[in-house]
Structure 1
Amino acid sequence: MTNPRVFTLLIDCQEDFMEGGALPVTGARADMARLAAFIAKHRHTITRIGYSLDTHQPISIFFPCWWRNASGEHPAPFTLITKEEVQEGLWMPIYDREQSMACLHHLGAVMIWTYHCLQGSAGAALEGTIQQAVTEHALATQTNPYVLTKGLDRVSEMYGIVHPEHNPHGLTHRELLDEIALYDRTIIAGEAASHCVLTSVRQICEGLADLELTKRITLLTDCMSPIAGFEEQMTAGFAELERKYRIQLVKSTEV
């Protein structure tokens, strides 16, 4: 009997999401320590590691510079700009009004974030212990990691790893879904659990659309944390995926 093929997928394990980063997730640094220990322990069992890199340019619809009010002021981070507010003139896009309104009509609102994971910045890099763990795994198994960059579309946020939230051009990372389908088990962890991890897992399950494949997905619950205030949303979201797609939620020590 051959050994099972295992894919470990790391979602946005980047410095800007760690405590002290531009968009910190409380508990993220400890999550990464547990995740790095998990990778080291199972180094010769994990067939391949994949990871996503949230990557943005400064002038993007979800950053303050894109918007201004009647006084010329930019919105503060964590402002929710709604379609109705823009229609009423409370907020106005400085760039690409047509695409801005198309995004708002589709999503209803856009959340403004702090500038984070800017392309080429130190904050966009993998967290240090994860980078080391990934490198050591690659050398031990003679297998390079699968790397996916997401978030460079300036007129839509891309929380999920498969496609942007507003996706008029039909961008889909089908090759990632094809990669996942090759394995007997896919183990997922990363940050933030309430946003990029939850959305990524949902998109993966919807994209695979096959219970025989989705039931192979395992989430490491102690290797991811939610953004504060979104705990209930996260819990409900993962419960729905567990019920609908039979994914598994376990601690890294239980694998």
Structure 2
Amino acid sequence: MTKALFIVDVQNDFTEGGALAVEGGDAVAERISAHLAEHADEYALIVASRDWHDAESDNGGHFHPEPDFVDTWPIHCVSGTAGAEYDPGLDTSAVTHHVKKGQGVPAYSLYEGTTDDGRRVSELLEEHHVLDVDVVGIATDHCVRASALDAIEHGRRVRILTALVAGVSAEASERALAELAHAGAEIVAGEGPQPSA
């Protein structure tokens, strides 16, 4: 197998009820779990990322009391808090590598994170000879976009499974998907089962 799945930032602070809630986040968590139940054995690596910001700093200006929601944000995903944990609808039992990013600095791409033993995603992909990457998670117009663009830049063939992503803004998400398609990603509509009601 030469394929990996990136599960980007499916965390409590980015799903309903969180500090930076994205509409449809809980449903995406459930759909990713259903996708894993059917397809986990097709991936050589399943990498899940989490924002994991420092509590005692502004994380390089990432946190701001008057955020612009472009470069600065309200406090979210503080390490060790419930907001930083995975959404309870996401089954992480098949995840092979957990990555934490934004530890004291702004970080959007999963490539900017490290595993608990300090390894980078680029190393993991090389080690497992991964050529193809499916990208799912939150938010389409921010961290999903950044992670997918980095995967393309690192020479991987990328698919965005649009049934398994949720964005902050519909317009910005459409722009992000168009940008990703222009950069070479395959935009796959309707991939993945629907969650149970």
Into which bin does the TM-score normalised by the smaller protein fall? 0.7 to 0.9
Moved over 3 A (4+): none
- Tell me which amino acid in the other structure corresponds to 1:188: V
Residue 184 of structure 1, CA deviation: 4.2
Identity %: 26
Match of 2:146 in 1: 199
Q: How does 1:173-192 map to 2 (within 5 A)?
A: 175-181=120-126, 182-192=129-139
**Does the CA-based 8 Å contact 1:35-1:252 persist in structure 2?**
no
Aligned CA distance change for structure 1 residues 175 and 9 (closer, same or farther; 3 Å): same
- Tell me which amino acid in the other structure corresponds to 2:110: I
Alpha-carbon distance in structure 2 between the residues aligned to 1:174 and 1:218:
24
Higher Rg? 1
The structure richer in helix per residue is: 1
In the alignment, structure 2 segments of 5+ residues that lack a partner are none
Match of 1:91 in 2: none
Match of 2:165 in 1: 224
SS in structure 2 at match of 1:197: helix
Aligned CA distance change for structure 1 residues 45 and 161 (closer, same or farther; 3 Å): closer
Alpha-carbon distance in structure 1 between the residues aligned to 2:112 and 2:185:
20
Alignment of 1:56 onto 2:53: yes
- Pairing partner for 1:253 from 184, 192, 195: 192
Match of 1:146 in 2: 97
Question: TM-score, normalised on structure 2?
Answer: 0.81
Alpha-carbon distance in structure 1 between the residues aligned to 2:149 and 2:3:
20
- Pairing partner for 1:79 from 42, 61, 68: 68
Aligned CA distance change for structure 1 residues 232 and 43 (closer, same or farther; 3 Å): same
Larger mean Cα displacement after TM superposition, 12-21 or 43-52: 43-52
**Does the CA-based 8 Å contact 1:188-1:220 persist in structure 2?**
yes
Residue 43 of structure 1, CA deviation: 2.9
**Does the CA-based 8 Å contact 2:5-2:47 persist in structure 1?**
yes
SS in structure 1 at match of 2:166: coil
Alpha-carbon distance in structure 2 between the residues aligned to 1:237 and 1:79:
19
Aligned CA distance change for structure 1 residues 241 and 174 (closer, same or farther; 3 Å): farther
Match of 1:87 in 2: none
SS in structure 2 at match of 1:21: coil
Alpha-carbon distance in structure 2 between the residues aligned to 1:33 and 1:222:
11
Per-residue CA deviation, residues 55-75 of structure 1 (Å, 9 max, x unaligned), is 1123212223xxxxxxxxxx4
Aligned CA distance change for structure 1 residues 17 and 242 (closer, same or farther; 3 Å): same
Aligned length: 183
- Tell me which amino acid in the other structure corresponds to 2:108: Y
Residue 51 of structure 1, CA deviation: 0.8
- Pairing partner for 1:128 from 82, 88, 92: 88
Alpha-carbon distance in structure 1 between the residues aligned to 2:145 and 2:33:
20
In the alignment, structure 1 segments of 5+ residues that lack a partner are 65-74, 81-108, 139-144, 165-172
Aligned CA distance change for structure 1 residues 201 and 174 (closer, same or farther; 3 Å): farther
Match of 1:159 in 2: 108
CA RMSD for the aligned pairs? 2.4
SS in structure 2 at match of 1:223: strand
Question: TM-score, normalised on structure 1?
Answer: 0.64
Aligned CA distance change for structure 1 residues 185 and 110 (closer, same or farther; 3 Å): closer
